């Protein structure tokens, strides 16, 4: 077998069956399914064990609760195949997902990673909304991660980071690409590290990964100062990497992307914190400390969007952007992305 599918699970008794079913009906069937239970206290483990009795491709690992990062890391360590595909236990995939990824491995031999694409749906609904991140394989095939990054920005203007593709296990182990524990947006930080290290890339433009949004109890849906600080710390680390980068073209593209993400993150968390009346002092302090990141960009749109923050600081600008966003969204439908 060439492919290990890794599914981390923690208290997902209402979702794990849909996830497993979508994997077992794949048109590409030569894979191992590695399901790692992260100390669930509901019926998740019982459900998983029942599935394993009926399909010898399933291997179940149980462990103490440590969080999704260390659970995914356990999967990387325990997997026995050349390539890894991650599926969160509350998501599911199209039946052609694995076949389409493995076909790309044949088209681009020795690729370190295959960029993936997703669709999103709201919990309790079935309607899928495809991501606008569409990168045809010809754009990045056989390019290094850094060159692929530049090519994608040139092609569509932005890059989507997340655990949605296929990864060569030897590549991850060689570069010690493991998820950092106990942090928010660990997948974004990890995926950027993969791109920075990759020598050969490919891309799958099929929106076959189906991501569940707004699940009750999900960390993504919970306003948290710690979450915001985790993300801002990621950008701070990226700036240090960009500062040391010798490739001047990639360096500026990376600066541009970090600056855009910084201001968008500030606006998004402000829109959560202001109405919730959360104590934002730590958030304001961190933003004011790092706001000069915006000046690294050469995108006029980013600079204009960040100008109020540079002039007025975090406290006033957070309220300004909250009310602007509230006014813009007054008649809009819920956003998928």
Checking if the pLDDT of 226 tops 70, the result is yes
pLDDT confidence tier of residue 332, bands split at 50, 70 and 90: low
| In contact, 26 and 92? CB cutoff 8 Å | no
Ramachandran angles phi, psi of 61, nearest 5° = -120, 135
Checking if the pLDDT of 221 tops 80, the result is no
Over residues 306-316, the pLDDT tens digits come to 999 999 999 99
Over residues 157-173, the pLDDT tens digits come to 989 998 989 999 999 99
Instruction: Say what the pLDDT of residue 337 is.
Output: 43
Kindly write down the DSSP assignment for every residue of 7-45, as one continuous string. EEESS-TTTHHHHHHHHHT-S---EEEEEEE-S-SSSHH
Distance CA 310, CA 263 (A): 10
Residue 92: partners with Cβ closer than 8 Å, 6 or more residues away:
18, 19, 21, 22, 210
Residue 156: partners with Cβ closer than 8 Å, 6 or more residues away:
132, 133, 134, 135
Checking if the pLDDT of 325 tops 80, the result is yes
| In contact, 93 and 121? CB cutoff 8 Å | no
For 197-319, where are the E strands, in sequence order? Answer: 201-203, 209-213
Instruction: Say what the pLDDT of residue 217 is.
Output: 62
Supply 109's token pair: 């031999």
pLDDT confidence tier of residue 23, bands split at 50, 70 and 90: very high
Average pLDDT estimate for 35-53: 98
pTM of this structure = 0.93
Over residues 46-96, the pLDDT tens digits come to 999 999 999 999 999 999 999 999 999 999 999 999 999 999 999 999 999
Distance CA 331, CA 86 (A): 36
Over residues 272-283, the pLDDT tens digits come to 999 988 899 999
Instruction: Say what the pLDDT of residue 118 is.
Output: 95
Mean of pLDDT over the chain: 94
pLDDT confidence tier of residue 248, bands split at 50, 70 and 90: very high
Reported as type and span, the H/E element at residue 139 is helix 137-140
Instruction: Say what the pLDDT of residue 24 is.
Output: 98
Q: At what angle do helices 225-244 and 186-197 cross, to 10 degrees?
A: 10
Instruction: Say what the pLDDT of residue 263 is.
Output: 97
Instruction: Say what the pLDDT of residue 126 is.
Output: 87
Instruction: Say what the pLDDT of residue 204 is.
Output: 97
Distance CA 148, CA 250 (A): 10
Checking if the pLDDT of 4 tops 60, the result is yes
């Amino acid at each position: 077998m060439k492919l290990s599918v890794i599914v981390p699970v923690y208290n997902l008794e209402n979702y794990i069956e849909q996830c497993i079913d979508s994997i077992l009906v794949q048109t590409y069937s030569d894979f191992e399914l590695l399901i790692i239970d992260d100390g669930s206290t509901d019926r998740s483990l019982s459900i998983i064990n029942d599935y394993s009795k009926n399909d010898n491709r399933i291997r179940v690992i149980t462990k103490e609760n440590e969080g999704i990062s260390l659970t995914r890391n356990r999967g990387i360590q325990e997997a026995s195949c050349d390539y890894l595909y991650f599926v969160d236990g509350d998501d599911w995939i199209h039946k052609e997902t694995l076949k389409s990824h493995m076909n790309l491995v044949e088209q681009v031999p020795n690729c370190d990673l295959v960029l993936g694409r997703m669709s999103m749906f709201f919990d309790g609904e079935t309607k899928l909304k495809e991501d606008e991140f569409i990168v045809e394989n010809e754009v990045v095939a056989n390019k290094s991660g850094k060159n692929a990054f530049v090519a994608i920005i040139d092609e569509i203007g932005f890059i989507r980071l997340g655990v949605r593709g296929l990864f060569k296990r030897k590549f991850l182990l060689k570069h010690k690409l493991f998820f950092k524990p106990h942090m928010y947006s660990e997948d974004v930080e990890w995926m950027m590290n993969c791109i920075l290290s990759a020598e050969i890339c490919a891309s799958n433009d099929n929106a076959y990964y189906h991501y569940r949004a707004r699940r009750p109890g999900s960390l993504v849906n919970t306003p948290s100062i710690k979450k915001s600080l985790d993300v801002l710390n990621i950008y701070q680390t990226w700036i240090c990497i960009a500062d040391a980068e010798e490739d001047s073209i990639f360096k500026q593209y990376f600066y541009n992307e970090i600056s855009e993400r910084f201001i968008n993150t500030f606006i998004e968390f402000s829109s959560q914190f202001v109405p919730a009346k959360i104590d934002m002092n730590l958030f304001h302090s961190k933003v004011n400390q790092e706001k000069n990141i915006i000046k690294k960009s050469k995108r006029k749109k980013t600079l204009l969007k960040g100008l109020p923050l540079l002039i007025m600081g975090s406290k006033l600008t957070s309220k300004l952007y909250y009310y602007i966003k509230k006014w813009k969204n007054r008649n809009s439908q819920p956003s998928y992305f």
